Amino acid sequence: MSAVQGLRARLARTPMSIIVMGSLLIAFVVVAVFAPLLAPFDPSRQSLILRLRPPGSASPQGVTYLLGTDDLGRDLLSRVIYGARASMFVAVASVFVSLLIGSALGMLAGWRRGWVEIVIMRFVDVMLSIPAILLAVLAVAVAGPGFQTLILVLGLTRWPRYARVAYAQTLQVATLPYIRAAELAGASATRLLLRHVLPNIAGPLLVVATAEFGLMILFEAGLSFLGLGIQPPTPSWGTIMSAGRQYIERAWWLTVFPGGCLFLLVLSVNVLGDWVRDRLDPRARTRG
C-alpha cells in the first residue's frame, strides 16, 4: 500500500468532526505563524476618521475593512490575525514551562520516594488547593503585566497537574523488570528517567498538555481582558474584547469576531484533545 493510500485509509477511519476540528486548528496555526503575510494592514496603524466602521466598510481611498475598524480606526481583521499569534504563543510557551517543571518534579518524586516524595507531593496539594486563575491574577498583579511575566505566571501555576500524572505513571513504570535490570547494571538515575521512564509516560502527559493548551488560551484572554496580560498596543483577543466592551451596543464586531475566534480555537483543541486521549488510552472509550 502506498503512502497516499495509507493516508486515505486513515482519513476514512477518522470521524468527520475530528477532520473538521483538525483543519480548523491547522488554519489557526497557519494564521498565527504567517500573520505578517496574511494581515492586510499594520495592526497598530490608527486613523481616527475611520473609527468604528462596520464590517465591509470602505475608506475614501477604496480600501475595504472586512471586519470593520476599532475605536482608534485600526483594521480589526489585522488585529485579530496578530491576536491569534500572541494568544497561541503564550499558550504554547506556558504549556512547555508547566510541562517541563511538572514532569521533572513528578518523576523525581515517584523515583526517589521517601522525604523527597512527601515534600513534592504535599507542595502539589497546596498548589492545587488554590484556584489557578486567582493565583495567576495575584501573581501578575504583584510582578506586573507583560509578555514574559504572563508566560511564567501561567506556567508556574499549572505545573501540579503534570506532576501528579508523572508521579503516578513513574510509580508504575519504575517496577518494570527491564528498568530494574538497567538500575542493577549501574545506570544512573538521570539516564533511567530520561531514556526509560520518560518515553513510557509521555502519552498521559501529552493528553494533559492538550487539555491545558485550551485552558492556557482562555487564561491569557481572561488576564488580557482584565488588563493584566498582554499590554496595548500589542493585539491579543483579550485586549481587543476589553477595548470593545464599552462599544458593545454600537460596535458589536469588536467583541463578536475575536470572541468567536477564541471559541473556535478552544473548541478545536478540546475536541482533538479528547480524541488523542481515546487514541492513547482505549479504555477511556469504554468508560465514556
Domain segments of the chain as ranges? 79-287
Per-residue pLDDT tens over the stretch 145-190: 778 888 888 888 889 999 999 999 888 888 778 777 777 777 777 8
**What is the DSSP secondary structure assignment for residue 228, as one 8-state letter?**
S
What is the DSSP annotation of 103-143? HHHHHHHHHH-HHHHHHHHHHHHHHHTS-HHHHHHHHHHHH
Per-residue pLDDT tens over the stretch 174-185: 877 877 777 777
pLDDT of 286 reads 44
Highest mean pLDDT among 60-74, 84-98, 131-145: 84-98
CA torsion sign for 90, 246, 266, 161 is: positive
pLDDT of 58 reads 82
The pLDDT of residue 125 is above 70: yes
Residue 254 and residue 258: Cα distance in Å, rounded? 7
The pLDDT of residue 123 is above 60: yes
Q: Going by DSSP bridges, is the β-strand pair 57-58/64-65 parallel, antiparallel, or unpaired?
A: antiparallel
Average pLDDT (23-44) is 92
Average pLDDT (119-126) is 91
Element holding 91 (H helix, E strand): helix 76-112
Residue 22 and residue 94: Cα distance in Å, rounded? 22
**Which grid cell is 211?**
487539555
pLDDT of 146 reads 78
**Is there a contact between 88 and 242 (Cβ–Cβ < 8 Å)?**
no
Average pLDDT (104-126) is 89
**Distance from CA of residue 203 to its chain's centroid?**
18
Per-residue pLDDT tens over the stretch 222-269: 888 888 888 888 889 999 999 888 888 888 999 999 999 999 999 999
**What is the DSSP secondary structure assignment for residue 73, as one 8-state letter?**
S
pLDDT of 285 reads 47
Which one of 3.40.50.2000, 1.10.3720.10, 3.40.50.300, 1.10.10.10 gives the CATH number of domain 79-287? Answer: 1.10.3720.10
Which pTM does this prediction carry? 0.84
**Distance from CA of residue 46 to its chain's centroid?**
30
Alpha-carbon distances, residue 189 vs 67, 106, 118, 166, 238 (angstroms): 56, 14, 19, 16, 44
